[in-house]
Amino acid sequence: MTDPAIPAIPPLIALPDGEAELRVTLRLQWEDVAALGQEAGRLAARWKRAVSLDEAASHRLRGRPTTAPAPAPAAPAPQERAKPQPAVASSSVSPLPARSSGEHARQAIEKISGGAGHASA
């Protein structure tokens, strides 16, 4: 069902330069939003202009290798399956202690804006 207040956006647009534009909505953790903000800051410093989070995400995706995924490892032997595997983080953002979503949001915004160190009452 579509919302009549929101205009329909084509899911894929062919651009004249040979690229395509795909509009998506992502649910991200605040740490990932902060990492995108830091990436946008680095790009802005390099390119000497403002860079949006959308542009930083697009740049990050373009920087990924386009090779075929590595083959899946062979099935482990029965005795190896019983061993617990250590947890591996799927992103480069370090895990943080449990906090409220409001605290996550405040800290992410501080990281993005460079305002870390301002205490709130």
Read off the pLDDT of residues 16-61 as tens digits, 9 standing for 90 and up: 999 888 888 889 999 999 999 999 999 999 999 999 998 999 888 8
77 found inside a domain = no
pTM higher than the cut 0.75? no
pLDDT confidence bin for 93, thresholds 50/70/90: low
Confirm whether 45 is domain-assigned: yes
What average pLDDT does the segment 90-112 reach? 66
42 domain residue, yes or no: yes
CA dihedral 96, 110, 53, 104 (to 10 degrees): 40
More confident residue, 116 or 42: 42
Domain count for the chain, please give it: 1
Question: Residue 23: its pLDDT value, please?
Answer: 84
Does 40 reside within a domain?
yes
Range of the domain at 48: 26-63
Whether 49 maps to a domain, the answer reads yes
Residue 8 lies in a domain: no
Eight-class DSSP state of 13: E
Angle, helix 30-47 to helix 53-62, in steps of 10 degrees: 90
pLDDT tier, 78 (very low <50, low <70, confident <90, very high otherwise): low
pLDDT of 33 reads 92
Question: What is the DSSP code (8-state) at residue 6?
Answer: S
Q: What is the mean pLDDT of the chain?
A: 74
Confidence of residue 68 (pLDDT cuts 50, 70, 90): low
